[in-house]
Structure 1
């Protein structure tokens, strides 16, 4: 078993310490990576001022794409190829932090295409050839946990699919988490970000255990995602309890700082959990759901392109996935539901397979989330492509506690896009346990 996470500074007002942290790391110049919406709100300028007060020069890149792609990061790196900095700051949601990670990689080791680093079979799965520069991750959403993980998620433009890059060198040097930075999130963005936390924690908690995975040929072949383990379980359980307590409140009252703080804790804790244990079916399904989108424009996101927010894409198939994985570890599925607030009175292993799915669907319904893939414009004719895209996510599916395969074609229209062949995910109405 192995486990790793970056140093963490957490608390309201922690943003003011960023300059000190960078100076302590010996950084004299940084590239600050953020997105246009945050730039318009003034937060990057305030962060830059904190950094400059410590005598550190700042270059601002404020065009990180929401849901970045191999093309967007390649073009950004080409634009910045002559820039000389010795550190990076990723300020924003997972998209900005992942873009900062990729710019750190592409500017530190120029000349190699992004596709070389993407996880197989979509990419070559090449290892990062050497050290990267210090990177401080400052999340402004409570969702991706990218501030605590050694991976990035990217769309692959010419394949219309998403995948990742996993390498310990991508781990931020510091996660600086200030819940006050999430107060300006619109309700729909808060909800979608929270769904990502929810599924991160559920998936890592129910992943194939670390001691039941195929052996690694050498220590160097050990993946970052090693399976559920006693350390990741601690963080997943903490995250689930916090999501159950605070997600609804954060969505329904954006000024609820206690709820915002709770969700920021949940996001980082879930990142520490899944960043080591891994995710499985919901995330594997979410990548083609996002990659094959045609016309969907989500509420709350000021973007000029069609997109399915990552958290919404993940949660759309989660109920089906966890009903499918329930037999592998009923007690874990029931415990996850209980931590999220489910009442287990009268529930037994024999009758509890619907408890976690119903609990997830209830949270999503209360926070205005998707009822199924039809919400994003998909229909039964899209299922083969969605399934194909999910089955390419081998790095994730190996974490599933139950072997995953394609449904027989005669079942496809009823089974939804989830390749595990769980209940319908095309459209599903929440069912409350009474």
Structure 2
């Protein structure tokens, strides 16, 4: 192995000898230091293995055979347990002689209590692998149950993100998990995040570590054909905001501090050239297929592309991160009053994608000054005419573009339509402040007054 000092000498030699003309992008001397910089200087891309194709769910039984699985926990929710996606999974397991038990009590928009209930189930089962079939709620619940099953002595808050929990790194080996998404939005099949409502403080938080990532994501567009219109709609806006937020997040070279050990580099690292590729793909896909997928349930082409975009957005956010839309969305969902959306049952709930997009117009008006070119590019990818537009107008142009999509998709007219008033703003800000992991990913720092204004501006949006 070449000694470090030899490598540094070589870099300095290359730098001094390199062509310094503008045509070759000379940007000044490369500074090589032995000291770990205050801000990060690298990013890394981690991702679950992704398998995509119509009908590919039939292969899951063989995947488990290949893993040597003997006793599998299949997790889903009460709405899905009797539908085709779960039937396809169980048929494949049965055909291939896999022993399994089904946990079908996953709560849509899970809580700390529902995570704990799932954990109790798996601790009684002696499972050697997991299969999650469902939306983000199912996949996140499965991740959490796998974690606490593999670390039975852990306190629940040990792994929950700080400052709500202790935010301990995961140093136990988890069981293999296969994720089979049935909605097109969360991207949880490729991330190491598990999000839940923490009931004591009425806001969402989560567990975030690369160890939680599923081993394999099976992306089967056939499962999306059973999605109701509103579920497809709200889930699509989760893709929408994942792409916009990861694309506009603080650049990875501006995030700090740099890790003292690469194993300590966080999952959310800031925007970078590779995550930007996924974000651009998603924004272009939304422009072409979002409306078709929502209003034409049997449009297999549109729903297939949206299903793929959800996974690609998951790869992007799983490494770049999201920021203000998600940070503000968590208390919006956690403090739900009486809003009951169509296609989501009878209990009050603010679906995740809806809570996230509510503040998006205000958020991107706020962040646009950090990088007007990127905000204009995002608007252009979503179909806006941006040729010759002024950088100073980037925020309004992107905001107006988002509002057009919200209007087309018949999204509710702001937080007031979800039951909130100006009197609720301080409580929502208080719920957002613990989301420092997300708020710090914003390209602009923000004060409590800034958060309040974004929420106030989101009370009525049309």
Q: With the length of structure 2 as denominator, give the TM-score of the two structures.
A: 0.88
Partner of 2:47: 5
Equivalent-residue separation in structure 2 for 1:288 and 1:111 (angstroms): 30
1:198 equivalent to 2:231? Answer no
Equivalent-residue separation in structure 2 for 1:34 and 1:51 (angstroms): 15
Report if aligned partners of 1:278, 1:396 keep a CA contact under 8 Å in 2.
yes
1:425 equivalent to 2:458? Answer yes
Say which of 176, 180, 186 aligns to 2:228.
186
Unaligned runs of 5+ in 1: 418-422, 430-434
Say which of 107, 117, 127 aligns to 1:75.
117
Equivalent-residue separation in structure 2 for 1:357 and 1:247 (angstroms): 18
Q: Identify which range, 350-359 or 224-233, moves more after superposition.
A: 350-359
**Residue 369 of structure 1: how far off its partner (Å):** 1.4
Partner of 1:251: 294
Equivalent-residue separation in structure 2 for 1:80 and 1:135 (angstroms): 13
Partner of 2:273: 230
Task: Render the CA deviation track for 1:137-183: whole Å, top value 9, x for unaligned.
Answer: 00000000000101111110111110121111100000100011011
Report if aligned partners of 1:10, 1:178 keep a CA contact under 8 Å in 2.
yes
Equivalent-residue separation in structure 1 for 2:365 and 2:199 (angstroms): 32
Task: Render the CA deviation track for 1:71-103: whole Å, top value 9, x for unaligned.
Answer: 111022223421011100010000001111111
Does the residue aligned with 1:352 lie in a helix, a strand or coil?
Answer: helix
Report if aligned partners of 1:416, 1:426 keep a CA contact under 8 Å in 2.
no
Unaligned runs of 5+ in 2: 1-42
Equivalent-residue separation in structure 2 for 1:354 and 1:312 (angstroms): 21
Larger Rg: 2
Report if aligned partners of 2:185, 2:310 keep a CA contact under 8 Å in 1.
yes
1:52 equivalent to 2:94? Answer yes
Partner of 1:266: 309
Partner of 1:65: 107
1:286 equivalent to 2:329? Answer yes
Report if aligned partners of 1:93, 1:140 keep a CA contact under 8 Å in 2.
yes
Report if aligned partners of 2:73, 2:122 keep a CA contact under 8 Å in 1.
no
**Residue 46 of structure 1: how far off its partner (Å):** 2.7
Say which of 10, 25, 28 aligns to 2:70.
28
**Residue 114 of structure 1: how far off its partner (Å):** 2.2
Partner of 2:171: 129
Does the residue aligned with 2:207 lie in a helix, a strand or coil?
Answer: strand
Equivalent-residue separation in structure 1 for 2:250 and 2:88 (angstroms): 43
Partner of 1:87: 129
Report if aligned partners of 2:201, 2:431 keep a CA contact under 8 Å in 1.
no
1:162 equivalent to 2:195? Answer no
Partner of 1:325: 367
Q: Aligned runs of 1:356-371 on 2, under 5 Å?
A: 356-371=398-413
Task: Render the CA deviation track for 1:99-134: whole Å, top value 9, x for unaligned.
Answer: 111111121211323222111111110122311000
Q: Identify which range, 377-386 or 76-85, moves more after superposition.
A: 76-85
Equivalent-residue separation in structure 1 for 2:371 and 2:413 (angstroms): 26
Equivalent-residue separation in structure 2 for 1:372 and 1:47 (angstroms): 39
Report if aligned partners of 1:383, 1:416 keep a CA contact under 8 Å in 2.
no
* Runs of 4+ more than 3 Å apart: none
Report if aligned partners of 1:391, 1:405 keep a CA contact under 8 Å in 2.
no
Partner of 1:420: none
Report if aligned partners of 1:88, 1:136 keep a CA contact under 8 Å in 2.
yes
Equivalent-residue separation in structure 2 for 1:351 and 1:229 (angstroms): 24
Partner of 2:215: 173
**Residue 416 of structure 1: how far off its partner (Å):** 4.6
The number of aligned residues is 419
- Judging changes above 3 Å, is the alpha-carbon distance between structure 1 residues 416 and 121 closer, same or farther for their aligned structure 2 residues? same
**Residue 346 of structure 1: how far off its partner (Å):** 3.9
Equivalent-residue separation in structure 2 for 1:245 and 1:388 (angstroms): 38
